[in-house]
Amino acid sequence: MPDHFLPDGLTRTDGTLHIESIPLTQVAQEYGTPCYVYSAAAIRNAYREFVEAFAALDPLICYAVKANGNLSILHLLSQQGSGFDIVSGGELSRVLAAGGSADKVVFSGVGKSAAEMAQALQAGVHCFNVESAAELRRLSQVASHLGLRAPVSLRVNPDVDPGTHPYIATGLKESKFGVAYADAFALYEEAARLPGLDVAGIDCHIGSQITDLAPFVAALEKILDLANRLRNAGIPLRHLDLGGGVGIRYRDETPIVLADYARAIAERLQGSGLRLLLEPGRRIIGNAGLLLTRVEYLKLSSDHRFAIVDAAMNDLIRPSLYEAWHEIVPVSERASPAALLDVVGPVCETGDILGRARSLAVAEGDLLAILSAGAYGASMGSNYNARPRPAEILVDGQSTRLIRRREAVEELYRNEWPPA
Ligand X SMILES: *Cc1c(COP(=O)(O)O)cnc(C)c1O
Under the rule (CB under 6 A), what is the footprint of ligand X?
64, 66-67, 85, 108, 205, 208, 243-246, 279-283, 375
Q: How far is the CB of 144 from ligand X (least distance, A)?
A: 26
- Residue 89's SS3 state is helix
Please name the residues in contact with 295: beta carbons below 8 A apart, sequence gap of 6 or more: 307, 308, 309, 362, 363, 364, 365, 366, 367, 368
- Provide the minimum distance between the beta carbon of 27 and ligand X in the complex, in angstroms, as a whole number: 25
Q: Which candidate, 306, 319, 177, 291, places its Cα nearest to that of 243?
A: 177
Clarify whether 204 is annotated catalytic: no
CA dihedral 179, 180, 183, 187 (to 10 degrees): 10
Contact between 84 and 74 (Cβ < 8 Å): yes
Shortest Cβ distance from residue 120 to ligand X (Å)?
A: 15
Amino acid, single-letter form, for residue 179: V
Catalytic residue among 35, 127, 204, 348: 348
d(CA 402, CA 399): 10
For the chain, how many helices (H) and strands (E)? Answer: 12, 21
CA distances from 147 to 122, 124, 127, 150, 197 (A): 10, 13, 17, 10, 11
| CB-nearer residue toward ligand X: 172 or 339 | 172
Q: What's the rounded Cα separation, in Å, for the pair 139 and 128? A: 9
List the one residue out of 377, 220, 194 whose CA is nearest residue 293: 377
| 256 or 309: CB nearest ligand X | 256
CB of 286 to ligand X, least distance (A): 7
Q: Which amino acid is at 50?
A: F
Catalytic residues: 348
